[in-house]
Amino acid sequence: DVKVTQSSRYLVKRTGEKVFLECVQDMDHENMFWYRQDPGLGLRLIYFSYDVKMKEKGDIPEGYSVSREKKERFSLILESASTNQTSMYLCAGSNVGVGTTEAFFGQGTRLTVV
Amino acid sequence: GESVGLHLPTLSVQEGDNSIINCAYSNSASDYFIWYKQESGKGPQFIIDIRSNMDKRQGQRVTVLLNKTVKHLSLQIAATQPGDSAVYFCAYSGAGSYQLTFGKGTKLSVIP
């Protein structure tokens, strides 16, 4: 059973803190993604990675960075958390672009910045 | 910019009826169009996809229709069941692209 696992379901952080959201996949997929989901806005792509140490900005990268040192792990970093980064964060893995369109999502991390 | 949008944000249907969820897109270079289902408290889950050179594709109780002339995508669910209650997202992938772009979602509520 393929799995994408996010390290936390719920997080509460203070404004200005550095926040790490971790995602691990056991599918041996090349691509990994970080989305944020907000009511009425759907899923918006923050960053994605198509290979180890490779990363590309998505639609809303400001205030975020990512790290992919190993194929199975993709980390989202909030350098200095702000209240407007309160959201649901979703990680996904896939081989989209090489004959498949199926992305596998984690269960999400609901981050609250106070 | 590229976008995938939805006509209706909410849809309520009677159990047993058919559901139709619509999606408009703006990027003509899309190669694949995909539907995802997100149940409460879970991440989105793949339902079905259709390639841009097709008009129709059927799965189990679901049918996706693609009208490239008017840039419109729809998901039809036959004999809707309570377990179909969820938010449905359309998405697209460009030719040779790794990226999936999602629409804003439609909430489907099934009335028992």
Contact: B43, A96; criterion CB under 8 Å: no
CA distance A64 to chain B (A): 18
Mutant choice from B38, B100, B106, B107 vs A, greatest count of A C-beta within 10 A: B100
CA distance B94 to chain A (A): 8
For residue A1, pLDDT over 70 is answered with no
Q: What is the pLDDT of residue A94?
A: 87
pLDDT tens readout for residues B4-38: 554 448 899 999 999 999 999 887 777 889 999 99
Confidence of residue A4 (pLDDT cuts 50, 70, 90): very high
Interface of A with B (CB under 8 A): 4, 30-31, 33, 35, 40-45, 48, 50, 56, 58, 90, 92, 94, 96-97, 101-108
pLDDT tens readout for residues A6-64: 999 999 999 999 999 999 999 888 899 999 999 888 899 999 998 998 999 999 999 99
Provide the β-strand partners of residue A25. A4
Q: What is the pLDDT of residue A87?
A: 97
pLDDT tens readout for residues B49-108: 999 999 999 999 999 999 999 999 999 999 999 999 999 999 988 766 778 889 889 999
Considering chain A, what is the average pLDDT of its residues?
92
Q: How far apart are CA A67 and CA A74, in angstroms?
A: 6
- Best CA proximity match to A8, nearest among A27, A21, A24: A21
